[in-house]
Amino acid sequence: MLSALMALSYAAFAIFVIVVASKWIKWSSMPMHLRWELYPVPHEAGRHHYGGSYIEEVDYWKKPRETTLAGELKDMFSEMLFIKRVYQYKRPLWWLTYPFHAGIYLILAWFFLLFVHGILSVYISIPALATIVYYLIQICGTIGIIAATLGCIGLIIRRFSDRDMGNYTVGVEIFNLFFILVVLLTGIATWITYDPHFQHAMEFMKALVAFNAAYLPKLTTIAKVHVVLLCLLWIYIPFTKMSHFIGKYFTFHKVLWDDELNVPGSKVEAKVRELTKLPMPWSAPHVDTGKSWDENALESPKDEWGRWRY
């Protein structure tokens, strides 16, 4: 029999995955946009260090492109793992946002390790690995929850004390930070009062991995509250801009680093051909509303083009 908490945990995970996937699909199925890259583009082999592009070559469209995946990965991971741009351009904020994000990464690693531990407990027995995982769980869990909580408190204080940020912050953004903080504080309370070695967390994950409530530990009220809030947070995150890990992939890879060239016969050209057939809905005097982008682009100038109206 599944307990209600187990059912909620499965549902939270499933909703998280489904909504993240649907957002991913939404962003990836958007129409190809005009080129709007921003240099330095890290996959430019041999030129990235100074921000150069393949356009620095005479007859560049005839030449093979030299790109480097390593350059892109380096830039990507230094931003993901170390939040490089905030470190470079707004160091005081980095001291708060970095522990917060690094703490969350460690908590995610902690979840993964609990999952591995569950698999090792239920399906495959490798005692040596289980011991290593056990200690990693202690390290990631402890550092993760402390770092994330301190970072979260720091970010909340900063939102209220720094008018530069506070004047731009709307209610839901404060709510999001407090929601995370409450989940972290209930987690700390559970950890200190009930589960100092994450033994019960491991048992909980074991029950989830085995689909068997018999493995469930007896939870205290604060532990139950924590699990419920944590599940609600998992469900909530993908609906909010806290899911900026999705957006970040697209802003960098599909906008700022998208330098794919349009040459005759290419896929890009085929997409341009289709998109320029779309009818223009705009209403300004210089637009022939309803005609396609192509038809509008090739029109002869008219007197009313220079006028304005609303």
Partner 1 sequence: MGEVEILSREIKPEDAASPVDQLVKLTVRDLEKLPPPYDKPGMEPELTDPKPEWREKYATDLDGYIAIDLPWKPQNKEEEERLVKSFLSGLNKLLTKEGNWTFLQPLLLSLEYCAKCQTCSNACPIYIMSGKQEVYKPTWRAEILRRIWKKYCTPAGKIFGKFVAGDIELNAKTLLRLAESAYRCTLCRRCTQTCPIGVDNGLISHEIRKLFSQEMGIAPKALHELGTVQHLKVGSSTGLTPDGVRDIIEFIEDDIEDKIGKRIKIPVDEKGADILLIHNAGEFLSWPENPAAFAILFEEAGLSWTLSSEQVAYDAVNYGVWYDDLQLARVAAKHAEIANKLEVNKIVVGECGHAHKAITVVADRVLHDDIWIPRESCMPILWEIVKKEKINFDPEKNNFPVTLHDPCNMVRLMGVVEPQRKILRKLAPQFREMEPHGVYNYCCGGGSGFAIMTSMNFPEWRNAVATRMKFKQVLEAFKDCLDPSINKYICAPCSNCKGAIRDMLSYYKAPERLSIYYGGLVELMVNAMVDLEEPFIEWEFH
DSSP E strand stretches across 167-308: none
At its nearest, how many Å lie between partner 1 and the CB of residue 174? 10
| Cβ within 8 Å of residue 241, ≥6 positions away | 247
290's torsion region: left (phi>0), alpha (psi -120 to 50) or beta?
Answer: left
Q: Which is nearer to partner 1, 13 or 39 (CB)?
A: 39
At its nearest, how many Å lie between partner 1 and the CB of residue 191? 28
Q: Which is nearer to partner 1, 86 or 147 (CB)?
A: 86
Taking CA atoms, 196 is separated from 9, 34, 130, 263, 264, in Å, by: 22, 54, 18, 62, 64
At its nearest, how many Å lie between partner 1 and the CB of residue 111? 24
Burial call 20-30: b when 16+ CB within 10 Å, e when fewer: eeebeeeeeee
Q: Is 45 exposed, middle or buried (CB count within 10 Å of its CB: 0-12, 13-18, 19+)?
A: middle
| Cβ within 8 Å of residue 126, ≥6 positions away | 120
Q: Which is nearer to partner 1, 123 or 308 (CB)?
A: 308
At its nearest, how many Å lie between partner 1 and the CB of residue 308? 4
Closest CA to 169 of 159, 179, 161, 180: 159
At its nearest, how many Å lie between partner 1 and the CB of residue 147? 18
Q: Which is nearer to partner 1, 185 or 268 (CB)?
A: 268
Closest CA to 120 of 134, 102, 109, 107: 134
Q: Which is nearer to partner 1, 76 or 130 (CB)?
A: 76
At its nearest, how many Å lie between partner 1 and the CB of residue 232? 17
Q: Which is nearer to partner 1, 122 or 275 (CB)?
A: 275
Is 122 in a helix, a strand, or coil? helix
